[in-house]
Structure 1
C-alpha cells in the first residue's frame, strides 16, 4: 500500500467514526427507531438525516470528506 493510501485510510477511518457518532447522536434526539437503525445499519438514518435540511449542514461536510478520502484509498491501493 502506498503512503498516500495509508494516510487516506487513517483519515477515512477517523472521519467515518466521527460521522457514525454524529448520526447516532442525532438519531437519539429524533426517535428510538432511528437510533436502532443508526446502530445496526448507519446508511439508512444517514440518508434520512441528510434529507432534513436542519441536519444537512452539519453532516454533509463529513460525508464529502469520508467519500473523498475513501476514493483516494481506492485509487492508490
Structure 2
C-alpha cells in the first residue's frame, strides 16, 4: 500500500501557494481558471472553465524554456 503526502500552504490566499509533497516542493500562482506551477521538473500551465469540470494542462521543462543561445 502506498502512502501519499501532500500539503498546500497559502502564502497569499487565493493567489500564491506553496505545495509540499513526498516528491518535492513547488510554487503555484494564479486564480480559479488559470494556474502556473513551478516545480522541480519545470513549469505547468493549467487552464480551465470554472464550474464545468473542463481543464487543460501543459508542462514545459526548464531546459526548453531557457535555452542556451543555440
Which structure's residues are more often helix, by fraction?
1
Identify which of structures 1 and 2 has the higher relative contact order when contacts are C-alpha pairs closer than 8 Å and 6+ apart.
1
**Normalised TM-score (structure 1):** 0.22
**Normalised TM-score (structure 2):** 0.23
